[in-house]
Amino acid sequence: MNEELLHEYRRMHETVLSPIAKRLEDLIRGHVAEAAHIDRVVARAKNPERFVAKAGKTDATGKSRYPEPLIQIQDIIGARVIVYYKCDVAPTEAIILNYFRPIELQTIVPDSEWSFGYFGRHFIMALPKDAIPGDIDIEGAPAFFELQIKTLFQHAWSEAEHDLGYKTPEELSADHQRQLAYTSAQAWGADEMFERLVAELA
């Protein structure tokens, strides 16, 4: 682990990134306050150990993917808007796009059928100046943040899967993959059933 980068990022995490994440969370919550079926809005700075792990990734040739990680890693600050149902994603996205400028938009579809939690709308957004507290130098703030819109079930599954993956960096056994596939199918099915119920009962 790059101890020098870890030390620098921990300082930045405490003095710059966490205050910005808190301000950004409040901004987004205010923007979507009138939207239907918003469960919660969360924003946070990337955990220092996870940041350094990502900064250390290399490509197929062994070259660093992020020679300047503090500039190049775009999800140093991540925000998530969690909605009740799949039908709430598009209206919430429309509200968000009234206030934030997207640099990149992805509709995430997982490579494997058990990666349910990676479904969702993922944006790289320009960080607005009003998300930066007055005592923080704008030049020292990140230029971008990641914003995701997910349903309750997508959020729950991705959080659990991400936590397990971080705690277990080695390759999963076949049995563990089957267990994840089972939980993925259950979460996907619950999301689909609620979507149908909303359509039928609305």
d(CA 155, CA 148): 10
Q: What is the pLDDT of residue 168?
A: 62
- pLDDT averaged over every residue in the chain: 87
d(CA 25, CA 41): 6
Beta strands in 32-184 (DSSP E): 38-45, 77-83, 102-108, 120-126, 144-151
pLDDT higher at 117 or 152:
152
User: Of 197, 162, 160, nearest to 84 (Cα)?
Assistant: 197
Q: What is the pLDDT of residue 114?
A: 47
Cβ atoms within 10 Å of 115's Cβ, excluding its own: 17
Q: What is the pLDDT of residues 52-65, one digit of tens each?
A: 989 999 988 989 99
Q: What is the pLDDT of residue 23?
A: 97
Does pTM surpass 0.95?
Answer: no
Query: Fold for domain 3-201?
Result: Beta Polymerase; domain 2 (3.30.460)
CB contact at 8 A, 4 and 46: no
Q: What is the pLDDT of residue 89?
A: 92
User: Of 56, 60, 76, 72, nearest to 169 (Cα)?
Assistant: 56
CB contact at 8 A, 157 and 108: no
Question: CA of 106: how far to CAs of 22, 45, 84, 122, 123, in Å?
Answer: 24, 21, 20, 5, 6
Beta strands in 65-154 (DSSP E): 77-83, 102-108, 120-126, 144-151
User: Of 181, 108, 190, nearest to 149 (Cα)?
Assistant: 108
Beta strands in 49-152 (DSSP E): 77-83, 102-108, 120-126, 144-151
Residue 61 structure tokens: 């040739």
d(CA 73, CA 67): 10
